[in-house]
């Protein structure tokens, strides 16, 4: 059953039940709407694996967080690669990746990342 169908059922049930059950339906509807919204992803984890209309190179890097001089933290997503938090250091005039972490959930919106260890 999809979240949208469950929301429709709970909305219909609200009309037929008492006050406590109506409150329970409201809580269930709110939780399902939040989960449905989170499943869309955000600008940090949105890529062609989530949107079939995207074609070609959908690889993107987003600068996030504060760090020391000549260091930066980036989020990489797209291009068929799992989302990763990358730690980079400036050497001369070129950035070099010194660490990569592939989270199970998007650190910005909380969406579960497909292919993560907890999915298996």
**Higher local confidence (pLDDT), 114 or 109:** 109
Rounded to whole angstroms, how far apart are CA atoms 85 and 61? 10
Percent of the chain with pLDDT over 90: 14
Q: What is the Cβ-side half-sphere exposure of residue 76, based on CA atoms within 13 angstroms?
A: 17
Grouping H, G, I as helix, E, B as strand and the rest as coil, residue 74 is: strand
Sequence length of the chain is: 120
Give the pLDDT band (50/70/90) at residue 11: confident
Q: What is the pLDDT of residue 43?
A: 67
Kindly tell me the sign of the dihedral angle through the C-alpha atoms of 71, 73, 79, 81. positive
Q: 10-43: string of b/e by CB count within 10 Å (b at 16+)?
A: beeebeeeeeeeeeebeebbeebeeeeeeeebee
pTM score > 0.85 for this model? no
User: pLDDT digits over 84-100, tens only?
Assistant: 889 999 999 999 999 99
User: In the chain, where are the structural domains located?
Assistant: 3-38, 60-119
For residues 20-32, average pLDDT: 85
């Amino acid at each position: 059953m999809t979240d949208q169908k469950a929301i429709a059922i709970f909305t219909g049930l609200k009309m037929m039940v008492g006050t406590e059950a109506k409150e329970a339906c409201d809580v269930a509807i709110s939780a399902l709407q939040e989960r449905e919204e989170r499943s869309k992803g955000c600008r940090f984890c949105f890529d062609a694996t989530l949107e079939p209309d995207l074609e070609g190179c959908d690889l993107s890097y987003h600068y996030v967080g504060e760090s020391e001089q000549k260091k930066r933290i980036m989020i990489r997503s797209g291009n068929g690669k799992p989302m990763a938090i990358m730690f980079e250091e400036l050497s001369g005039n070129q950035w070099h990746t010194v660490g990569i972490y592939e989270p199970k959930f998007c650190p910005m919106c909380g969406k579960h990342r497909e292919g993560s260890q907890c999915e298996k």
